[in-house]
Amino acid sequence: MVIKGTLTFSGDKSISHRALMFSALADGESRISNLSTGADVQSTRKCLEACGVEIKDEGNEVVVNGGKLSDPIDSLDCGNSGTTTRLLLGLMAGQGINATFIGDDSVSYRPMNRIMDPLYQMGLKSKSNDGKLPITIRKSELNGIQYKSPVASAQVKSAVLLAGLGASGETSITEPVLSRNHTEKMLSGLGANLSTSGLTTTVSSMTSPLSPFDLAVPGDPSTAAFFAASATLVPNSVIVLNRVLANPTRTGVFATLEKMGAAMERLNQWDEAGELIGNLKIWHQPLKGVIIDENDVPGLIDELPIIAILATQANGKTKVSGAEELRVKESDRIHALCKNLKKMGADIEELHDGFIINGPTPLKGANIETFHDHRIAMAFTIAGLVTNGDIVLDHPECASISFPEFYDVLENLKQ
């Protein structure tokens, strides 16, 4: 079996969430195409609709009529989506909405203090379950703050900036390492008064609504990474990935693949609506181990599960450190990777903030605990391409959180 083909992906999950949210703040009609088909983005859509935003499907486009948010009657159900929860908490706080946020078991265990702390400092009246969901927010007068975030998190940064749109004066946030910058790029493109200097972004109170827009969402590099890995791992494979988001805050996985010795060619790159997009060709080549530290982590945080799989087949040592954030994702991904990879015969050592893998080791088939985590399910499915024996996932359906088409697309590439 080899992996061969050309793929164009549905839209990037981070940009899709933001496109829906920012069009909800814009005064008038926005048209979005190639929106992510994942369940997380549907959660954002449903929450916005519950707040009175009119969103309809028209052919390949999603049409949003924004500008008029109202209090929802029922709780806002954020499903499995941390991005929906954290960004909407900031956005709704800034817009003076009264709402209660709930989510599934995974989101309900994830830390929300990281955004509630700055929102309290801004003057938000709210009640939480000891820093976790359910969280109720009450319409409050917000004041701008200068916030120094202890974590490099685009969700924290975005929540603070979105609340800042509705706060008096200026709101700024400084992060320890640059995280994905889609919020900054999109908001300033849509007319917000926003500036970035080094690791600090400052936004002023919104004096007029954002401008409505048309956007074709670029392909998701986090999804593309699984297919890039499949072609890298399986001898004689070659794959072309078209129209993938190439924003440098998101392409750490491709830079890492290159450091590992992967065979890759950037066919062309262009700019669309302020974001870099590109086509990539990747083919099989033996890999070597790589060192990833806290400065690299924000640029490839969601890709560490698939990087771990690649590392088991790479020559030498791979060390990932400074990645304690992996413990508070959709699952504790360090634990999920170590537990499952050990079962498969990999040489992996768990660290509090990462892992060490010595490769290459042959992998054997196993029953995989996904912990209902889409990226664990997809990473171990790709591992299954090179195992001796079958990989059986306990909850394969969780891949639909970001890419419902994952298994079909992979099957079509097998020749």
User: What CA–CA distance (Å, rounded) separates 104 from 90?
Assistant: 19
If 0-12 CB within 10 Å is exposed, 13-18 middle and 19+ buried, where does residue 220 land?
Answer: buried
User: Nearest-CA neighbor of 158 among 207, 192, 132?
Assistant: 192
Residue closer to ligand S3P by CB (options 84, 358) is: 84
Contacting positions for ligand S3P (CB under 6 A): 14, 17, 83, 153-155, 158, 179-180, 301-302, 325
Q: How far is the CB of 14 from ligand S3P (least distance, A)?
A: 3
Least separation in angstroms between CB 133 and ligand S3P: 15
Are 7 and 279 spatial neighbours (Cβ–Cβ below 8 Å)?
Answer: no
Give me the least distance between CB of 112 and ligand S3P, in Å please.
11
Per-residue CA distances from 333 to 59, 227, 330 (Å): 37, 20, 8
Nearest to 37 by CA among 399, 411, 306, 412: 399
Q: Which is nearer to ligand S3P, 162 or 368 (CB)?
A: 162
**In the annotation, is 57 catalytic?**
no
**Helix pair 82-94, 113-121: axis angle to 10 deg:** 10
Q: Which is nearer to ligand S3P, 83 or 400 (CB)?
A: 83
Given a contact cutoff of 8 angstroms between Cβ atoms, the answer to whether 91 and 25 are in contact is yes
The DSSP code sequence of 165-178 is TTSBSEEEEE-SS-
CB of 155 to ligand S3P, least distance (A): 3
Q: Which of 360, 408, 349 lies closest to 386 in space, CA to CA?
A: 360
Nearer to ligand S3P by Cβ, of 118 and 289: the residue is: 118
Q: How far apart are CA 322 and CA 176, in angstroms?
A: 12
- 64 neighbors 53 (Cβ within 8 angstroms): yes
Peptide bond into 235 cis (omega under 30): no
What is the DSSP secondary-structure string of 4-68? EEEEEPPBPHHHHHHHHHHHHHBSEEEEEES---SHHHHHHHHHHHHTT-EEEEETTEEEEEES-
Please report how close the Cβ of residue 333 comes to ligand S3P at its closest, in angstroms: 10
Task: Tell me the Ramachandran region of residue 235: left when phi exceeds 0, alpha when psi lies from -120 to 50, beta otherwise.
Answer: beta
Residue number with CB closer to ligand S3P (82 or 360): 82
CB of residue 18 vs ligand S3P: minimum separation in angstroms?
Answer: 7
Q: Which is nearer to ligand S3P, 85 or 140 (CB)?
A: 85
Nearest to 155 by CA among 120, 196, 111: 111
The residue from 77, 220, 302, 373 that is catalytic is 302
CB of 1 to ligand S3P, least distance (A): 30
CA distance 243 to 264: 15
Give the active site residues: 302
